[in-house]
Amino acid sequence: MESKYTLPSKSPLKSIGSAVRNGIIPLKRKFQGPENSNGKMFKANGVSLAGGANNKTNGPQHPNQPTAKQITSKMQMEQQRQALPVTGCRKRLIQEIYKSDTLLIMGETGSGKTTQIPQFLLAAGLCNKGMIAVTQPRRVAAITVAKRVAQEQHSQLGETVGYTVRFEDCTSARTRIRFMTDGFLLREALADRLLRNYAVIMLDEAHERTVSTDVLFGIVKEAQRQRRLRSLLPLKVIVTSATMDIDHFGRYFGVKGMYLEGRTHPVRVMHAKESQSDYLHATLVTLFDIHRNTPSNHDVLIFLTGQEEIEAMAQQIRQIAKTNINNVASVRVFPLYAQLPQNKQLECFLPAPANARKIVLATNIAETSVTIPGVRCVIDSGFVKRRIYSPSTGLDVLRVVRISQAQSWQRCGRAGRDAPGTCYRTYTQEEMNAFEKMPKPEILRSNICSTVLQLLALGIDCKSFDFLDRPSPEAMETAYQKLESLGAVRNASTVPELTPLGRQMAQFPLDPQYSKLLLAAPQFSCMEEMLSLVAVLSGDNVFVSSVEKREHANLAHAKFHSKYGDHLTLLNVFSAFQKTEKIKLWCHDNFLNTRNLSYARDVRKQLLEVVERLALQINSCGNNYDQVRKCLLVGLFDNIAELQRDNFYMTITGRQRAKIHPSSVFHGKYRPEYIIFSEIVLTERNFLRQVTEISPEWVAEVVPHFTHLNRIKLSS
C-alpha cells in the first residue's frame, strides 16, 4: 500500500498564516528536546518539531499523558512536565493573564496546554478567591485529564484537582482545579449568571464549537462585564484550542491571540496518490501493510465514523490477523466511541502486551485532549458522522461527510504525542484542499430549542444574545414557535417571555419536549413510568447489536417487546433492569448496554430530585399503559404520523414521508394506522425512530390545540 502514498507538499500551518499576520503573539520557548545533527531545531511539515523523520527512539520521550511505566517516580513525571513546550513560556503566560481578562491561546497538539496551564494558574495564586474551571466537550476527556493533573500535583483525585460530569462529582471543599463538561458549567450558569465560584474559566478545545461551548462564550463575556460593573473579583477567561480560527475569535473577544509551539515529535504525513472509492477497504489494506512492515510497538489509531462501522472493522481485523498474517506480531483491537461503557473506553489507554500491536478504532472522540499511549501510526479515513437539523422540515439528517482541514490536522497530531510517527490519509492532497477549513459550528446545524429555553431562563432573549456565530433567523423562529406550542413561551413573535410552565421546564436538564412530559405526568397518573421512560430516552441506545450473535440478540430483546411499540418496550427493559441485582451479568445475557442503563438510572435519580423540588405528585398507572401513551402526546404532539396506502408513513407536521426504523418492534411486522415517534432522521431514507401506536381520538382529548393549529382532523 505504501506505493499509493506520497508526502504532502503543503504546510499544515498555512491556514493560520493570516492570523499570524493579524496579531497573534508568538510564544517562544527554549528547546529542551533532542536535537538534529547540527544541534538545532528544525521544522517538519511547517511545524516546529524536535528531531526528524530518521530520529531513532526506543520509546516515548515527552508525552503529555504518559503510560503507566513512565509514571514510576515523581522525578520522571517532573522531567516530563519540564520537557513540554508550554513550560518554557510559563512566565510569559502568567504575565499575559494578569494583564488581560481574556486570553486566546492556539497551542499545537502536544504543547501541554490542557494539563499545565491550570497548574501554572494554581501556583501563581490565581485561585485564592475562586476555583479554576476547565471545560471539555466530552466527559471521557474531563475525567482522564483530571486524573493526570491530580497525579502531577501528587494529590488524590477529588482534593486539589477534581472533575464534575453529569451524575458524577469527584470534588471536595478543597478542590481548586475543577475539570468539567461544557454542558455542566452551562447548567451552573442557570443558578448564577456571574459564575462567582470561579476566578478563572478555561474553555478548552474551543474549535469543537459544541452548542454549550458557543453559549458559554457569550455567558462568560457578560459575566466579565457584570463583575466589572459591580466591582467584584474579575473573571479571567482563557480560550484554548489547537486549530481555532484565531481571527474570528479575536474579533469576538476583542483581544489578540497567542500562538504556542507544540508538537514534540515529527509526524510524517502520507496522502493516497489516487482517490479511493471505498475508504474502509483502503483503511484495512493500509493497516495490514503497517502491521507487516513496522515494529510491533508502533500502535495504530484509526479514525472511523461510528459504532457499527467500528465493530464491523474490529471483527474483520481480528479474522484477517488470525488467518492471513504469518510470523507477525499479534494484534489487540480496541474500539473507542461515546456509547462504549466507560471501563471499555479506558482499556485502550493501557499498554499492549509484549510482541503485540495495539489497534484503536475510534470516532472523532479521539481527535482532541485524550492521548492514547503508544500510538505511532494514525490512519485517517477522512470522514465523520454528522447530524444536521433542518428547521424547515424538522428533519435530523445523519450523514457520513468529509471532515474539515482543521480536523485532518488534529487527527494527524495524534501520531506525534509519544514519539515520531506517521499519519496515513486515505484521501489525496487535492481532495483535502477541497475540504472546508473549519467544521461548521454545532449551533448552526442543530435544533436550538433547548438553548433558547436555557437563555430565556437566564433572562436572555436569544435574538439579542451575543453569539460567536448567530443561528439563522429561521432556526430561532422555529425554536420560539415550538416553545410557544409547548406552553413554555408567550409572545414568541414579538417580545418572547417565559411562562411559569416554561420556568419549570427549564429546571430539567432535558429537551423541552421531555420536560413537558414530566410536568404533565401527574395528570395521567404515570409519573413513575414517565420518569423511567424519559431517563432512558435522554441517553444513548440501551440495546447492544452484535454482528456475530445477531439472532441471539434479537431473541433476547424480544422478551421485552411491547405490543404498543418502542417506548413501552424501553420501559419494560428499564423496569427489569431496576429489579436486577447482578446487572453486568444480566445485561450481558440480554445484549443490553450496562453503561447506558446505569446512566439512565442516574438520570432518573436527578429527575426525581427536580420533580420533588417542584412538588409534583408522584404516582403510577400500574398496567394501564394507555395513560403513558396519552401522556407522550402532550410533549410529542408534533411527532404524529399516519400510515399511507403504499405502507409509508406521512408526518402530520412537516408532511414528510418515512418508514419505521429497522430497530423498531414494528419493523417488518404490524403497521399501526397512527403512531407517535421520538425523532425523524434521514440516512439513506427518512426513518421514524422509537415509535408507539396511538388512537387518533386521543389527539383532540389530550392536545385539542394541535388539530386547530394544523387544520387537520383525525378520526378513528
What ranges do the domains of the chain cover? 72-260, 267-440, 447-494, 512-617, 637-711
| Grouped pLDDT means (10 residues each) for the chain, 716 residues | 40 30 36 28 26 34 49 72 86 92 85 92 91 92 92 93 88 95 90 94 91 94 95 95 86 89 79 92 93 90 91 90 72 85 78 87 79 90 89 78 90 86 95 91 91 90 91 92 93 87 93 96 97 93 79 91 96 96 93 90 93 96 95 94 94 90 89 93 85 93 71 50
Rounded CA separation 374/300 (Å): 8
* Common-topology check for domains 72-260 and 267-440: yes
Please tell me the chain's helix, strand, coil percentages from 3-state DSSP, rounded to the nearest 5: 40, 20, 40
Place of cell 437539523: 389
pLDDT of residue 521: 97
In whole angstroms, how large is the CA radius of gyration of the chain?
26
> Cell for 704?
385539542
Q: What angle do CA 553, 558, 563 make, to 5 degrees?
A: 155
* Cα→Cα distances 594→573, 587, 600, Å: 12, 6, 10
Provide CB contacts within 8 A for 19, sequence distance 6+.
Answer: 106, 245, 246, 247, 250, 257, 259
Chain Cα centroid distance, residue 275? 30
The dotted CATH code for 267-440 is 3.40.50.300
Rounded CA separation 63/416 (Å): 9
Quick check: helix, strand or coil at residue 384? Answer: strand
The dotted CATH code for 72-260 is 3.40.50.300
Q: Identify the sign of the CA torsion 338, 114, 441, 431.
A: negative
pLDDT of residue 713: 54
Rounded CA separation 171/177 (Å): 9
Stated as kind and residue range, the H or E segment containing 347 is helix 342-347
Instruction: Specify the pairing of strand 356-362 against strand 299-303.
Output: parallel
